[in-house]
Amino acid sequence: MWDTLTTLDFRPAFGCSLASFGVASDYAITRLQPLVDDVIKRAQEYSELHNSKGTRIRFTCAAMSDSLKRLSYPATFRDINRQFVSVQRFWKESVAWLTWVQDKWEHFEPSPSANVAPAPIDNRFMGAYTTDPAVVQILMRAGVPVWLLRPPELILPTTIIHEVINPTQASSVINTNDPKFALYHGTIGDRALSVTCMGGHTYSDVEHVPHHDPDVSARPRISISQPNKPSSSLGFAPLREDIAVVFPSEHTSRTGSAGSSLSRFSSPIQSQTTKNASKSSSKSSVPYQQPSPGANRNPFIDPNHSDMPKPLSIWAAELRLCSEGTTPIRRWGYLFPDPALFVTCSRERADNFFSTWLGLRVAWVTLHENYPADVRPLLTQTWRDILGGLQGQVVTLGQQTRTSARKQTSQQALEHVFEIQGIEDASFAMTPPFAYRSHIYQQNEVIPPNVRQEILWEIYHLGFRAELLALDRHLVPSQYSDQSSLDRDEFLRRQMVDRVCGGQLDLGTSALDEAVKALSSPILSVRLPSIEAFRLIIVRWPLCPHALVQIESLTDPRHPPRNISIAERLIYKFYLRSFYFHAGRPALVPHAPAA
């Protein structure tokens, strides 16, 4: 690589709870932006000229553009440095591919003719390695320098030799059968290149956590299996409105009610805490505590509060019915906090929740986007403890009350996600000022109601996107084991979800574009591309209604509007019931944009 970042190219992210987070400077990005734009333009021209849409160049250009965008996403200096190098790596791969197909392929002849003059050797190329003399002739006539690896006794007298190079013996060799064995830790530089030349030909552009822990094992990633589309099709015939979405109910007889089945999937620490609490309760009476405003709340209906964004009628109707006749098989936590937590508590506590989330927001969303960040779903009570503020409330191991044990569990969950030694760590701070979009909120500054509504709308949007990704990974099992295929499939999976959500997010670190609100639009033609992208995801899932699998693309203008409306409702119904069946709770769904 020809360029690397220095600390002068790293700008700390203001208002972020992780002090080590920052972004690349504008000067660093402008050093690569023209090169990236030029290669993308060349690739588009080639694809249009040759009507080629499934080539390798699409992936490398998309990955290069994605790496460039991530330079503006808050991360540690190490990960920003790696993304900076990744842009250059994908640029070199893209340029090499385009140079070969555009400049060299026309000279590449498997059976070279003696009447055609060979192309001049292009000294810009490093050259190709081969042991076959026939390949030497083919590549040389295409103008590509060649390194012929042969013992001296097998070199023919007729072979034209420009220079003889004796191979250099390796000073050290690394032998390991463990694919997760770390060859090198640190920033990009001479040492990293030296290790790569010794056999570590594996790219690691993003670590699992922002603060590296060598003991953290790699989490398996999943790939995408493309659906086999049936030969028959419903075409543009009218869809029925009474199509049923059915899930197995054999768990009902074995586990009883949904509530009893959910209790089996609580965390071990929480279960132990409950046992300890039950023992202590038999010894002493517990004074009456007034229930919180959200104690008896229906989780399938949004709370009636001025800070809540307005629900979309089609989503709200299906959400209320998603649990009917369905017994969940497990219980998932929340990848993002349930927005209802912010409005089902006292005003003072809600202010604390909003302030804490603004301090946690940038780092939390960054971890979700920098896959494979080891972000585990958290229980509702864990989120309540975290948003309520854990700093200054460190729990000692000697205390075994139910409240202290619960807060200790929440503290450990936060420490695990960010890989910090403690919430009092200097690298972690949850104190103002906090940044949201273009405004900075100082100590004791009141967040306006319209901004509160925007924050909750954003949490709904980010939560819906994260849960759709998680459920898709859960329902579409892995079919590959090699890392390159896993990376490519995860990239494609994210692209599919991005199309549902109206485009790639900017990680919520600045104002969300209006185009992101695709599924929230009241106009059917505006949200139609997102609906079709949603359908293409769920047709790969088990038990998907046959009508959704067989129907032609919803973006086809020959579809009557009634067909599209029925298909949209059926897509939402199947998604919400699938999520409830596998997660044991209602999903976070898109809401109307804040006024």
Whether 251 shows a pLDDT value over 50: the answer reads: no
**pLDDT at residue 64, as a whole number:** 87
Same domain, 418 and 521: yes
Which segment, 68-77, 232-241, 550-559, 570-579, is predicted with the most confidence on average? 570-579
Q: Residue 397: pLDDT above 90? A: no
CA-nearest of 317, 372, 362 to 16 is 362
CB 487 within 8 A of CB 220: no
Which residues, at least 6 apart from 489, have a Cβ–Cβ distance to it below 8 Å?
Answer: 222, 223, 224, 480
Determine if the peptide bond prior to 74 is cis (ω within 30°). no
CA quadruple 90, 93, 96, 98: dihedral sign: negative
> For residue 210, is the peptide bond before it cis, meaning its omega torsion is within 30 degrees of 0?
no
Nearest to 395 by CA among 383, 406, 408: 408
pLDDT at 84: 87
pLDDT for residue 171: 67
**How far, in Å, are 202, 270, 281, 288, 400 from residue 277 at the CA level?**
49, 10, 6, 15, 9
- Residues 459 and 387 both lie in one domain: yes
Contacts of 448 (CB under 8 A, 6+ apart): none
318 and 438 in a common domain:
yes
> Position of tokens 């490093």?
126
Output phi, psi for 555, to 5 deg. -80, -5
Asked if residue 209 is part of any domain, the answer here is no
* For the ranges 121-125, 187-191, 429-433, 461-465, the one whose mean pLDDT is highest: 461-465
**Neighbouring residues of 344: CB distance < 8 A, sequence distance ≥ 6:** 292, 293, 294, 297, 303
- Rounded Cα distance between 472 and 478, Å, is 11
- Could you tell me if residue 283 is inside a domain? no
In a domain, 223, yes or no: no
For the chain, give the percent of residues with pLDDT over 90: 8
Answer yes or no: do 150 and 21 share one domain: no
Asked, for residue 216, whether it belongs to a domain, the answer is: no
pLDDT at 374: 54
- Which of these ranges, 86-95, 103-112, 404-413, 539-548, has the smallest mean pLDDT? 103-112
Please state the rounded mean pLDDT for residues 182-194. 60
178: pLDDT strictly greater than 50: yes
| 141 shares a domain with 36 | no
67 & 31 share domain: yes
- Compute the distance between CA of residue 477 and CA of residue 416 in angstroms, rounded to an integer: 26
Please tell me what DSSP assigns to residue 432: S
Pair 77, 120 in one domain:
no
Q: Are residues 500 and 413 in the same domain?
A: yes
Helix H or strand E encompassing 402: helix 402-418
Strands 22-24 and 146-148: unpaired
Task: Judge whether residue 445 has pLDDT over 70.
Answer: yes
Which residue, 132, 149, 164, sits at the end of a domain? 164
Q: What is the span of the domain harbouring residue 48?
A: 1-105
| Pairwise pLDDT comparison (354 vs 420), residue with the higher score | 354
N-terminal to C-terminal alpha carbon distance within the chain: 48
Instruction: Band the pLDDT of 534: cuts 50, 70, 90.
Output: very high
Q: What is the mean pLDDT of residues 76-100?
A: 85
Residue 523 exposed, middle or buried by CB count within 10 Å (0-12, 13-18, 19+): exposed
- The separation between CA 184 and the C-alpha centre of its own chain, rounded to angstroms, equals 25
Which pLDDT does position 576 carry in this prediction?
93
176 belongs to a structural domain: no
Tokens of 120: 């001049």
In a domain, 96, yes or no: yes
Task: For residue range 450-505, list pLDDT tens digits in order.
Answer: 889 888 988 998 899 989 988 998 888 777 777 667 777 777 888 888 888 877 66
Amino acid making up residue 459: I
How far apart (Å, rounded) are the C-alpha atoms in residues 307 and 459? 13
Q: What is the mean pLDDT of residues 540-564?
A: 86
Per-residue confidence (pLDDT) for residue 264, from 0 to 100: 28
Total domains in the fold of the chain = 3
Q: Where does residue 63 rank: exposed (0-12), middle (13-18), buried (19+ CB within 10 A)? A: buried
The last residue of a domain, from among 144, 164, 184: 164
Return the pLDDT at 464. 92
Spatial CA neighbour of 484 closest among 204, 214, 226: 204
Instruction: For residues 132 and 66, state if they share a domain.
Output: no
User: 207-211, 507-511, 570-574 — which is least confidently predicted?
Assistant: 207-211
**75: β partners:** 22
**pLDDT at residue 372 is higher than 60:** no
Rounded to an integer, what distance in angstroms lies between the CA atom of residue 243 and that of residue 573? 10
Residue 12: the pLDDT is: 80
Give the pair of three-digit tokens for residue 473.
């990974």
Tell me how far apart the alpha carbons of residues 480 and 484 are, in angstroms, rounded to a whole number: 9
Question: Would you state the structure tokens that stand for residue 294, as one six-digit string?
Answer: 């959200």
pLDDT (0 to 100) of residue 265: 30
Residue-wise pLDDT tens digits, 260-276: 332 323 333 333 334 44
* Segment of 195-199, 318-322, 393-397 carrying the highest mean pLDDT: 318-322
Higher pLDDT, 206 or 85: 85
Strand partners, 440: 435
Give the residue, 61 or 507, on which the prediction is more confident.
61
Beta bridge partners of residue 556, listed in sequence order: none
- 401 pLDDT more than 80: no
Considering the domain boundaries, does residue 188 fall inside one?
Answer: no
Mean pLDDT, the chain, integer: 71
Q: Are residues 114 and 97 in the same domain?
A: no
pLDDT band at 390 (very low <50, low <70, confident <90, very high): low
Report the alpha-carbon distance of residue 581 to residue 470 in Å, rounded. Answer: 14
Examine the fold and report which residue of 145, 164, 183 is the final residue of a domain before the chain moves on: 164
Q: 116 with 37, same domain? A: no
Are β-strands 146-148 and 128-130 bridged in parallel, bridged antiparallel, or unpaired?
Answer: parallel
Provide the whole-model pTM: 0.63
CB atoms within 10 A of CB 185: 12
Work out the average pLDDT over 435-448.
Answer: 76
Q: Decide if pLDDT at 247 tops 60.
A: no
Residue of 102 and 590 predicted with greater confidence: 590
Residue 379 lies in a domain: yes
Q: Residue 543 has which token pair?
A: 């038990």
Helix axes 449-475, 561-583, angle to 10 degrees: 80
Distance CA 377, CA 367 (A): 13
Pick the range with the lowest mean pLDDT from 30-34, 154-158, 219-223, 491-495.
219-223
pLDDT in tens, 114-156: 566 667 777 777 777 788 777 777 777 777 888 877 777 777 7
Asked, as a colleague might, if the bond just before 372 is cis with ω within 30 of 0, I would say: yes
Strand partners for 436: 439
Above 60 in pLDDT, residue 394?
no
pLDDT for position 493: 84
DSSP state of 428: B
134 and 94: one domain? no
